[in-house]
Amino acid sequence: MASRLNPYLSFNGDARQAMEFYKEVFGGTLDLNSYGAFGQADAPNADKIMHGMLETTSGFTLMGADNPPGMESEQGGSHSVSLSGDDDAELRGYWEKLSEGGSVSVPLEKQMWGDVFGMCTDRFGVPWMVNISTEN
């Protein structure tokens, strides 16, 4: 898998509706995963979207999710830039450069879904997510 750069949008509880709307607009294949599907079946947000991805026949990729409880999005702050792939060295290099001089909100480390993932905001205030796919 080659590395890719695509938008990742945040929502306050209506990610499912928004992502289904984008599928109507752009066509393609939509994959939605709820918090409940990732081990939080009894949580109040179990039906909310932990990760959604729309891939279109035109080559567009749009990702989105509902904010976890307690994290509301702000006007103009409802986006992140997502870098993902399986080239560990390349993606860790991007991570190091993006996080330098910025702030790290989620350290780049193995997560419950098996991949290595981290979140940071670069020195210009742009939020980034890096996901390194790993063999399970």
Average pLDDT over residues 67-85: 75
Q: Provide the strand spans (E) within 1-136.
A: 4-11, 29-34, 49-55, 61-66, 79-85, 103-110, 116-121, 127-132
Cα distances (angstroms) measured from residue 19 to each of 37, 46, 56: 18, 17, 12
Burial annotation 62-77 (CB, 10 A radius, 16+ → b, else e) = bbbbbbeeeeeeeeee
pLDDT-based confidence at residue 124 (cuts at 50, 70, 90): confident
How high is the pLDDT of residue 94? 93
> 49: closest CA among 31, 33, 69, 61?
33
pLDDT higher at 136 or 121 = 121
Rounded to an integer, what distance in angstroms lies between the CA atom of residue 104 and that of residue 121? 6
The pLDDT tens digits for 77-112 are 668 889 899 999 999 999 999 999 999 999 999 999
